[in-house]
Amino acid sequence: MSTGQIERVGVVGCGLMGSGIAEVVARSGADVMVCEASEDALQSGRDRIERSIGRAVTSGKIDPLDAKLTLSRFEFTPHLEDLADRQLVIEAVVEDEEVKTAVLRQLDQVVDDPTAIFATNTSSIPIMKLAMTTRRPEQVIGLHFFNPVPVLPLVEIITSLLTSTETSDRASSFASDQLGKTVITSPDRAGFVVNALLIPYLLSAVRMLESGFASAEHIDTAMVEGCAHPMGPLHLADLIGLDTTQAVANSLYEEFKEPLYSPPPLLSRMVEGGLLGRKSGQGFYTYSH
């Protein structure tokens, strides 16, 4: 298995997370091929990356020359076959097992490098389930980044019972040495460490609102002003995306059958109504893009 710096990375899905992951990978010096489901989604992802790098220049985090160099490392494609020469592919498509397994199955067919790593940014789906849809489960691993990726240092690394030590060493060194992230290892159980703790807390806040116990503003103010959280749970759920929050809750519930993981009806109704939080402009709060 090859070692050293990973130079050619593919990122599949360029929404909230994929765009942030692609940005930090390009800033680390690697070439990034970004793949999206459609030309429109590709353009939105590209705009999101350019805006984020623009903000990093304005705030003095990177200089304009570095920004130009970073942008020159990107290629964009709607065709998964264009990822054939990648050493590492990180999938960050929607939190839907069927969509993820279809992407991984296709990647397994098109990626030529026999040592390539397939990483998933899933928030909750057990890695084993995804790994077994490929012919190389020993090369499948969870690399779970946090939103916003350029700001939050953590990456959870999740190995399945079949992930090889070479894959996990290489992925771990990629995240810590190449990207400069703080790495923790998490068990291959739905939700891993962070979401197993975070999701029941967010769902409790939704239940509190739904039952009329407290208003959204009071719930959020309570946790910001009383517990020094940087943002309240309903703002955070809006930021994560209510569809993603619901999907993660469903995976946790399916795995553990504990009522605390079950999505409350208000969350389900909001998702069914397209009220997805910040990304759709309306969630528990209203946003102007």
Catalytic residue ranges: 123, 144, 156, 195
What are the respective helix, strand and coil percentages of the chain, to the nearest 5? 50, 15, 35
Note whether 35 binds ligand NAD by CB under 6 A.
yes
Other CB atoms within 10 Å distance of the CB of residue 77:
15
Q: How many CA atoms lie within 13 A of 180 on its CB side?
A: 10
Chain residue at closest Cβ approach to ligand NAD = 15
Identify which range of 33-41, 158-166, 205-213, 262-270 contacts ligand NAD by CB under 6 A. Answer: 33-41
Between 1 and 128, CB nearer to ligand NAD: 128
- The CA distances from residue 83 to 43, 87, 124, 129, 135, in Å, are 18, 9, 25, 23, 17
- The CA distances from residue 167 to 44, 58, 107, 120, 160, in Å, are 32, 37, 17, 13, 11
Type of residue found at 92: A
Site string for ligand NAD, 113-132 (x = CB under 6 A): --------xxx---------
Note whether 32 binds ligand NAD by CB under 6 A.
no
Between 56 and 130, CB nearer to ligand NAD: 130
CA 266 – CA 74 distance, rounded (Å)? 40
Reading the block at residue 235, the tokens are: 């703002």
Of 11, 14, 155, 208, which lies in the binding site for ligand NAD, with binding defined by CB under 6 A?
14
Between 1 and 197, CB nearer to ligand NAD: 197
Site string for ligand NAD, 141-160 (x = CB under 6 A): ---xxxx-------------
Chain residues binding ligand NAD by CB under 6 A are 12-18, 35-37, 41, 92-95, 99, 103, 121-123, 144-147, 240-241, 244, 279
